[in-house]
Chains A and B, each alone.
Chain A
Amino acid sequence: MIVAVTGVVLIAFVVGHLLGNLQIFLGPDWVNSYAEHLRALGPLLWAIRAFLLVSVLLHIFYTISLAIENRRARPVQYERKDNVKATFASRYMAMSGLIVLAFILYHLAHFTVRVTDPRFLLLKADPLNRYDVYSMMVYGFQNIFVSAFYIIGMFLLALHLSHGTSSFFQSLGLNDKKLTPRLALAGRIFAWLIFVGYTSIPIAVLFHLVKPAQEL
């Protein structure tokens, strides 16, 4: 229950965040003003961050304890176990979730705290005197390793969500016999749309379809 609710919160964040990020295709002005607006929220931003953080922590805490309980529920493993219906994604939720966690940590360090890339400190303010988030993203993703890790992270997130998105309907008792297969499909499509959405950014950067707004 808590897993599902926090999962939904996180999904909502993921969608919102994606919409924000996709503004990169609209040019530096959009992104930077979006970032500025976010910052302008001040305490509210912190509240949202705190809320997300709590959600993530709860989500992780409960999923990990569930995963441990579930392992204990079968002390002697099968010598041979075939799965008839369970998808790969559904069986490795904890795995994909943990890697996503690692990714999130790195991601925060990278773009929010900006400790990983010294160049970010060199970035000048943009013409309207806002922090140039746009260029930061572009420079960040020009690094092939950063992009690759980002894409892998997104891949696992998509995998996680390909199960999670329909799963929460089931956990919250919001579906029935007819809806279940449709939701499963919709969940999968949703997850991979998210994947395409997020990865479009680093790919665009790598292929120089999006260029930084300023030289370093």
Chain B
Amino acid sequence: MIGTLDSRIPSGPLAQKWATHKDHARLVSPNNRRKFQVIVVGSGLAGGAAAATLGELGYNVKCFCYQDSPRRAHSIAAQGGINAAKNYQNDGDSVFRLFYDTIKGGDFRSREANVYRLAEVSNLIIDHCVEQGVPFAREYGGLLANRSFGGAQVSRTFYARGQTGQQLLLGAYQALCRQIAAGTVAMFPQTEMLDLVLVDGHAKGIITRSLVTGKIAAHAADAVVLATGGYGNVFYLSTNARGCNVTATYRAYKKGALFANPCFTQIHPTCIPVSGQNQSKLTLMSESLRNDGRVWVPKKAGDKRSPKQIPEEERDYYLERKYPSFGNLAPRDISSRAAKEVCDEGRGVGESGRGVYLDFADAINRVGEQTIRERYGNLFHIYEKITGENAYERPMRIYPAVHYTMGGLWVDYNLMSNIPGLHVIGEANFSDHGANRLGASALMQGLADGYFVLPYTLPVYLAGQIGKRPPTDHQEFCKAEDEVRARTTKLLSINGSRSVDSFHRELGFLLWDKCGMARNTRGLREALTWIPEMREQFWRDVRVPGIGKEFNQSLERAGRVADFLEFAELMCIDALTRDESCGGHFREEHQTPDGEALRDDEHFADVFAWEYQGNGSIAAPKLHREPLVFETVELTQRSYK
């Protein structure tokens, strides 16, 4: 069905591609824009920015989110910061360097052209957000302040206390509110997308369920934009919000959109360790803490002394030891794996033995407690709330946790999937971070896509679509609506014995074990036999109380978990097929003698894009490969030593 994947990367030198593309891209004139209806699913940085900007341009936009307000999208939780190549610190930064760091950080598994464009527009984002009133941190002279982040040797990260994501999202949300008031954007909060509708092979609408009234409805449009975030919650415990899900992108996948690199997930090194059985989510401690905190474990295995009693010479500052030039700021995948390694050696700290120290004593001696309080006060506060420990006095305990998903729906240079009309932006697409994302670059990507890329590339599709919007009583809509209804009824009627959460937890622990920080053939194969069984059990034995025509949180979750149960299989297949290590995808079979990820560029310098064929082993998904062409950078073994 699908031929070779055309990424539509413009020709010409890397640095000119975007400019040339914009110069020649098709446009939609102002008086035609209002004839178009665009659906944006998601109101996070990507969706919020896109909906607001498209509204500003004069399109009619419908924007959906599952939260009760667009301001609550999970982008709100990002703490650390956002990158841009401003070079305000005069420390040698440039668009090229940001581009290069991102490509290298992604372990050479992303597209040059997309990443270069991202680095190019990064500066516009900062200008725009400042203008919107985002209160970025400033220096005494009134200039914008920067800090450094993992994987970079320059200070290029802009931040607003420990609440950068919140402030950027509020900027987008306020812009969105302005458009809502102006009538260009119609907002549908607490409305979940449950299916994508294709008419003649083009994405022309969606089916939604109101989470308040349970009403199932059809929405038609000239183009659909998915900005539904990441699927980290497939692991049950992650730093994502409870509601984050794969449903929107997975339904699109089932309708024929290709899912790219689903196994590329990021494990963040600095989270608060799991404590106890009933934990429902993991909390991130921003990576910026690694600017001032030093990571260590005792040298001796099983050393249960309290941290203060362990003398300096019996501590192993393992990141500084192994990666002298990056030290505590080594990239995420590397730091996470290093933590797992020392814990596997029995040197982990805390009750569970799954934790390492992040120690601020030196920094406090150097710059004083007050300065540390100013920099990270709210993080220390969160830490104390959760653990009951004071990190000014006692080192924090941290451990890696699932945090971000680089994989997502496949898109071309225009951010359009293989389904015409279906555009995918933000964390929901696969495009810019390869096999590992550098800190402070997801916010950058979401906003780049929403404010500065999609508004230029969407018209490329729309220009040819005047008057082609189908009515919502078109048979494709009716069919999709019926399917959604049938599925809801099915979930409610099983009336088995197990709760939705129990399945989710079981699936999550399995994945964490088999498809988490380290993966191997045997484990993945095991997972692949388990998952279909779990799924079968779910559809036989889940209990979803209540009815469909009302506010019903069990039903919401059941639908999401049902999708995770299918999607998990796709992830494991991808992880198994990618028989190399790269970035966050660490196959134990492929490592250098000192335990680093060993890529196989000859066979795997490709994007893996999967096409749906049906569930289970009977109809394995079909693999399409998009070769990654590197014209500018040279593929090297990533080294942060």
Q: Do chains A and B touch in the complex (CB under 8 A)?
A: no
